[in-house]
Structures are given as structure tokens and as C-alpha cells.
Amino acid sequence: MVSAFGCLSGALRATTALKPQGFFGIHYAGAAYVALNGYQQQLPDQTLYPGYGSLGYTTVFNLQEGQAILVSFSGKPVLQRGGFWSISAYGEDQNLIPNPLFRFKVGSQNSSLVYRDGSRIYNGTSSTSSRNGPFDVLIQPQTPPSNWTTNWLPASNRFYWLVRWYTAEPAMTNGSYQYPVVQTISAITGSASATASASSARSASRSASISGPTSSASSTVS
């Protein structure tokens, strides 16, 4: 299954979500919802929260045994100087998921994150060079082979995630940035299967055509 942020595979279109993010005015229902579920939500020029519009803006995953999520980025998210991005996974109890790496998020603050050829993308919060290109984040409960460890976000079979772009540039909302493709694949657990799964998944992600959102107040597409 291949999907983008906000939709299943197929022809995608950008749409808007809740516009008054972080500043609600007379939008009392929106303010009440955020007060219950996301207290002190930031303004769009501070943080964007990509989500699945077709699933009611939830990001809950139910993996079958032996499944994984592969998030294929077209390139680095486009952020202002000093900005950063992250993907965090949470368990059914809404707490961070214990794992042997003590890794609870991946993003631009992970200096180990690498491109597909194994070269590093970031050093701390900044890019190591002006280079840009595709890379993948693997989300699964099982420990992957060593060539995937750098880009692995440990999770459980049932989890939800939060994706955050902090101080995003207009490219993240005007459609010029190609948003990540999200796929359900077989878990990558051994060197032979890793090569086969990665090759198949990356081929599928390259063939998928997606667009980013158009709303300056939300990064959700459907």
C-alpha cells in the first residue's frame, strides 16, 4: 500500500484543513478541540503538523506481524535557518516507545541520518552540505540490519506518530516541495531481505506522484 500525507494511492489533490491553527478567534469548536487534544498549539509559521486527511487527520497505524512503514522523502524538508523537523512515534498508552537504541524520534537533529548511498544528511541541526536528495525512514518494531539502523525509528505494532516541520519555508505549503510517500512493506530484518525490500519499496516510491499542500495554515493534504 502506497500513500502520501493525507491520502491513499491515486490522483492526489491539495486541500485545506483547519485554518486558524494556534489563533482561533471565534472558531470556538476548534479552540476547544485543541485544548483537549493539543494544548498550546503553535502558529503555522512556527510549526506545521502533516497528517492524513482521509483518516480524519489521525496518524494511527496498526501493523500486522512482520510489517513495517517506509517513509520515502524526495529531499530535505525546506525550513528557515535554525528550523528543524522530526517524526516521533508513540504507543497505545501515548508514551514514547521503549527501544534498545533509546531513540524516540528521527529528523534533522539526528546526525546519523543518511541518504540512500550512506552519506550523512545532517550534522546536529544543520545540513552538512548544500547537497539534497532522496532518503528513507524505516518504522518497525523489529531491529533491522545494520545498513538500516541509522534511519530506523523503533515502534510497536500499534502506534501513532507526529510529524513536525518547525519554521517551515513557503515551499512546504505552496506545493513546490514534494511531500513524503508512506508505504506499508514487509519488515526489513535480514541482509538479503533488506536489499530486496528496500529495492522494491524505493522503486514504488519513485513511481508515485504526490504534491504538497496549498494552505499556508496547514500541511495536510487529501
Residue 204 pLDDT exceeds 60:
no
The answer to whether the CB of 4 falls within 8 A of the CB of 50 is: no
**Whole-number pLDDT of residue 26:** 74
**Whole-number pLDDT of residue 222:** 25
The answer to whether the CB of 142 falls within 8 A of the CB of 187 is: yes
Pairing status of strand 2-4 against strand 47-48? unpaired
145-178 tens-digit pLDDT: 999 999 999 999 999 888 989 999 999 988 899 9
Q: State the pLDDT confidence band at 8, using cuts at 50, 70 and 90.
A: very low
Q: From CA 38, how far away is CA 46, in angstroms rounded?
A: 15
Q: From CA 32, how far away is CA 194, in angstroms rounded?
A: 45
**Whole-number pLDDT of residue 136:** 97
**What is the pTM for the complete model shown?**
0.71
Closest of 185, 179, 138 to residue 53, by C-alpha: 179
Domain architecture of the chain: domains with CATH: 2-207 (2.60.120.1600)
Torsion angles phi and psi, residue 164, rounded to 5:
-130, 130
Reduced to 3 states, what is the DSSP secondary structure of residue 210? coil
How many other CB atoms are there within 10 angstroms of residue 56's CB atom? 8
Cell of 44: 503555522
CA 162 to chain centre: 7
54-87 tens-digit pLDDT: 555 567 888 999 999 999 999 999 999 889 999 9
**Whole-number pLDDT of residue 90:** 94
**Whole-number pLDDT of residue 206:** 37
**Whole-number pLDDT of residue 65:** 93
Mean pLDDT value across residues 114-142: 84
Percentages (nearest 5) of helix, strand, coil residues in the chain? 15, 30, 55
Q: How many helices (H) and strands (E) does the chain have?
A: 3, 13
